[in-house]
Amino acid sequence: MNLLIILLLITGINVDNSFSYNENIPLEAELQKYIYDMSTSLGIDYDLVLTIIEVESGFDEKIVSKTGDYGLMQINKMNHGWLNAKFGGLDFLYSYDNVFAGIIMLNQLKKECGDDVHKMLTAYNKGLSTANKLWAKGVRKTDYSKKVMSKFYKRVMVDKLKMRLKKEFKKCGI
């Protein structure tokens, strides 16, 4: 990863954070834009949300796990009640409702966990009370949080670099 950062700095390539449809992500353009708009409006990194979706469901909007996790962001059934009470009538297998719920949960966990992304991811994966117990024991990173962050860094650095280089090559007629 450090080599890619150095490459970006040396080449002066500016990684633009504005939305653009990514054909390599198996989600329709409208849904990608919805995820972008919602996540950025709440201060949640768009690429982090995409990475969570990739890890949680492999972009399968209709998946239901054996433990009762639903849809793209694998919203556990224990969260359905409070989310529906607060926001009304969510269908957790409908992609837009599912990512709405997942991003809302991430936003609340971000407030609880501050800037520690590993804490936020652990709480998203295991629940806040379990995460608090781990933190009390000094566990700051879990296999889940490390997996998400590893994929996140790859997505941000490699995918955005590839997209930007394609644009630059196209400008040069290459």
pLDDT tens-place string over residues 31-89: 999 999 999 999 999 999 999 999 999 999 999 999 999 999 999 999 999 999 999 99
- Among left, alpha and beta (phi > 0; psi -120 to 50; other), residue 3 is alpha
User: Over pLDDT 90: what percentage of the chain?
Assistant: 74
CA-based radius of gyration for the chain: 17
For residue 166, the 8-state DSSP code is: H
For the cut 90, the answer to whether the pLDDT of residue 17 exceeds it is no
The answer to whether residues 128 and 97 touch, using CB atoms and an 8 Å cutoff, is no
Give the chain's domains with CATH numbers: 23-154 (1.10.530.10)
SS3 at position 127? coil
pLDDT reported for residue 69: 98
Interatomic CA distance for residues 142 and 64, integer angstroms = 23
For the cut 80, the answer to whether the pLDDT of residue 114 exceeds it is yes
The structure's pTM equals: 0.83
